[in-house]
Amino acid sequence: MRQFLALVLALLSGVTIGVVAGYYLTTYLLLPNNSFLSPFIEQAEVVGKPLQKYSIVNLSQMEFVPSEITIKKELEKADEYVEYLFTFSTMGRQMSGQLTLPTAFALHPDQTASPNAVIILVRGWAEIETYSSGSGTRPVARELAKQGYATLAPDFFGYGQSDPAPTNEWETRFVKPVNVIELYKSVQTNGVRDGRLDLPEHLQITIPAISHIGFWGHSNGGQVALTVLEVLSQPIPTVLWAPVTASFPYSILYFGNDLEDEGQEQRAWMAIFEKTYNALDFSLTQHLDRLTGPIQLHQGSADTDAPQTWSDRFNDLVKQENTRRQETLTSTTTGNLMQNSSPTPSRSITTDLATDQTPTLAPPITTGSGQDQTQTPTSKSATNPTPGQTKTFASSTTADSALGRSQASTSLTVTNPAPSQTNLPSVLPPINLTYYQYPGANHNLRPMTHWNTAINRDIKFFKQFLSNQE
């Protein structure tokens, strides 16, 4: 009997081993699509493209999710401005930043009208060890608050009280336009609310949803702001100080010479990146067909961090793009004339920023050259000003409709769209770019005479395009 049971157990064990072995042979060796790793068979590497969703064209198809913008605490109070820490949600995670408000409204929100425009300030690179909310944008925020504007300066992931940055350094770079756009959508949809519930209700600050929103960017923040404009392709008034406008990846490799290894590791990272991705997909200079204005650019001639040659080339590229658009518009108009015996002529707003003339109606693009009439900085316009110094503004200050969605994080369906034309009308209006040069000014537009000139021009710019004030 014992011998019989032993025989049965042996047979069952053999069957079990055979079934298991057959399963593994069939699943992992005989089928072509398997994940079994054999030391004797060379494995084909499967390479994904997780960062492709951050290409400029794919970002234009992303569903951006607005959130609540909440005031957390007061940071500093002065006679003409008050600074607060705020938080909002972007990509399903928390990001902090600094809100700066005019003192009159901040202290008496129940008696003073809320600001009628919000400007989002986008800083450049910052040392994390010495960083505090508002670093890189604080002086500009204070000057704009004195003029009645509310400003929001996001810290970005890994800074302030924001959630940690992504572990992938490329992703840390590429998510910034998403963060800025979701802050923009949040202002547009929800405004700003006070989270300090211990305050009496009449002292709690509320800024309702608002459509008058502008951007201000410095250095790398200028690159982020321009990318945002290309992603949205909407006429959002934007000011740039010494922006990084060099093509990607040169805009990164340029700074490698200052590193201890003279950029060796940086170049190695870039080589790995370009084995998988086409760098042009992420370069703002390759997507100027998506760019809109109005834009005001300030550049110092003594800037070694973002050299003047970058802004000069960017200005030239915008001129070329405007020529292309004008040719397309002319061709389209000619076609319409053949179909319509009495067409309505196209008109656009022109003005002279240097002499602050009242805007007048004029035909679309003119050609010629002109110089700024102020004494120190010089000005060039990418819309080819006439000798009479008028500059064509083919853009208007509008904002798209608000998104009232409740998703907790940003979602994206990656497709293979045609090059940069995706989601664009047949042709965008010419880009209104006004370019000011400041002889002897550094990356921060110092000395202060230049800084003061630039900020005063910014105030006039935002009053014209955001507040409709003269």
**Chain mean pLDDT for the chain:** 78
pLDDT tens-digit series, residues 202-246: 999 999 999 999 999 999 999 999 999 999 999 999 999 999 998
What domains are there in the chain, each with its CATH number? 56-247+287-324+350-467 (3.40.50.1820), 248-282 (no CATH)
pLDDT tens-digit series, residues 103-161: 999 999 999 999 989 999 999 999 999 999 999 999 999 999 999 999 999 999 999 99
Judge whether residue 58 has pLDDT over 50: yes
| Region of poorest pLDDT, from 4-18, 74-88, 164-178 | 4-18
Residue 425, judged by CB atoms within 10 A of its CB (0-12, 13-18, 19+), counts as: exposed
pLDDT tens-digit series, residues 304-333: 999 999 999 999 999 999 999 999 888 776
pTM (global) more than 0.85 = no
Judge whether residue 169 has pLDDT over 90: no
pLDDT tens-digit series, residues 360-394: 222 333 333 333 333 345 566 554 433 333 333 33
pLDDT at 102: 98
